[in-house]
Amino acid sequence: MDDQAHAARTIWNCLHDWWTMLPKEKRSLGAADAAIRQARKEIDWLAALPAQAAQAVLKTYFQAWKNCWDGRADAPNFKARFRSAMSVDIPQGRDLNITRVHRRWGMVNIPKIGRVRFRWTRNLPVGKHANTHNRITGSRLVKDALGWHIAFRVQALEPKPEPHAGPEVGIDVGVSLPLALSDGDTKAHGAWLTAKERAKLLRLEQRAAHRKTFRKPGERTSNRLQAAYDQIQGLRARAKRRHLDWQHRTTTEIAAKYSVIVVEDLAITNMVKSAKGTVESPGNNVAQKSGLNRSISEEAWGRTVELLTYKTARNGGTLHKVPAPGTSQRCSACGFTTPGSRESQAVFVCKNPDCGWSGNADHNAAQNVLHLYRMGLALIPAAGRAVVRRASRVKPATAR
């Protein structure tokens, strides 16, 4: 599997170089297909990747450019060996030949590898349960620090969802309180690692830092240091998996309850920029800003919004984004925006002498987020950017 993943990554990089160097009039899907076939014949270790998986790399690369031209993503780039996830695509479901051994395990056929046992975690349309409208169309092998995993692509016929009849809600994301809802509900979580696992992680990081001092500049990483790095990545991957599980459960609950979900349009990339500055003008509170950046990245706000987007549409609801500036400083009771009203991370006190309302700062921000939507200030993406729309509410979209 490692050999196939490295071959797939190399084909992607060679295809990217071929695409960027050729003139526009010579770029075509047929020419790229011929180049891949020739490379697999001339380079022996590229033949470790099945021909169908190589074709899947080509289709994925062209789809990446289409997404870039449509403004949905950035341009595809080079995949580095140590910074990209190892993965192999199996585009045809009929080659998998999936069988269920018993309740917890199943067997799947992987091209050029053979029969492999996998953990059965979800119901799959195999055997008598498979038909034209509910069948497996392919799979993807992905490797992380915990090992290899297989994800199956399932084609299913779902009924068109009815319009959701639930209430509207605004959501404010944060660090100390992950999700605060405008109706007073909160969605929080604890530490992703236990106390014993956190102590082990600290011990491994100290061990890796100590072993790194013995490595000379330009010298390859020793086996001991690499073993420490692997254990650290394993613990972090376990924490990431627990976080993703919490996000899925929380977003599923929210999407099933509310018909309209309103979130802030946050520029997260700008929020996590370093405050180090330059030599001429060094930044202030660099250590504190670095810790805040790590906390923001760990919460993965963008992934939460992505999960809410498709789950809300699947349930017959809609998700909208509103401008973020001023939502944490505006008083939801009187509507005045005064500097310094948020006295702490959790307490909001209105500085308007005629109001003086006080309450939870996160819930106040969530109510302001919902207020902006009701005022018709929803942001609608257009050609890769967001524009303010002052109009009536958008009808619920249907899931495809």
Question: What number is the average pLDDT over the span 361-377?
Answer: 87
pLDDT score for 343: 63
The model's confidence at residue 177, banded by pLDDT at 50, 70 and 90, is: confident
pLDDT in tens, 59-98: 999 999 999 888 888 889 999 888 888 999 999 888 899 9
The model's confidence at residue 228, banded by pLDDT at 50, 70 and 90, is: very high
Question: What number is the average pLDDT over the span 40-45?
Answer: 89
Please, are residues 167 and 261 in contact by the beta-carbon 8 Å criterion? no
- The backbone torsions φ and ψ at residue 145, rounded to the nearest 5 degrees and listed phi first, read -65, -20
Highest-scoring range by mean pLDDT, 32-36, 46-50, 207-211, 355-359: 207-211
pLDDT score for 390: 37
Work out the percent of the chain whose per-residue pLDDT is above 70: 91
Tokens of 271: 């929020």
Work out the percent of the chain whose per-residue pLDDT is above 90: 42
Q: Regarding predicted confidence, which is higher, 98 or 389?
A: 98
Q: What is the pTM of this model?
A: 0.81
Residue 169 has pLDDT above 80, yes or no: yes
The model's confidence at residue 361, banded by pLDDT at 50, 70 and 90, is: confident
Tokens of 162: 């009815």
Tokens of 359: 């309450």
pLDDT score for 400: 35
- The backbone torsions φ and ψ at residue 391, rounded to the nearest 5 degrees and listed phi first, read -155, -175
| CA 297/CA 277 separation, integer angstroms | 20
- The backbone torsions φ and ψ at residue 210, rounded to the nearest 5 degrees and listed phi first, read -70, -45
pLDDT in tens, 96-108: 999 999 889 999 9
The model's confidence at residue 218, banded by pLDDT at 50, 70 and 90, is: confident
| CA 121/CA 105 separation, integer angstroms | 8
Please, are residues 358 and 333 in contact by the beta-carbon 8 Å criterion? no
Question: What number is the average pLDDT over the span 175-194?
Answer: 90
| CA 25/CA 352 separation, integer angstroms | 65
| CA 37/CA 54 separation, integer angstroms | 9
Question: What number is the average pLDDT over the span 209-229?
Answer: 91
The model's confidence at residue 392, banded by pLDDT at 50, 70 and 90, is: very low
Least confident interval from 60-69, 216-225, 288-297, 334-343: 334-343
Cross-strand pairs, 144:
147
Residue 141 has pLDDT above 90, yes or no: yes
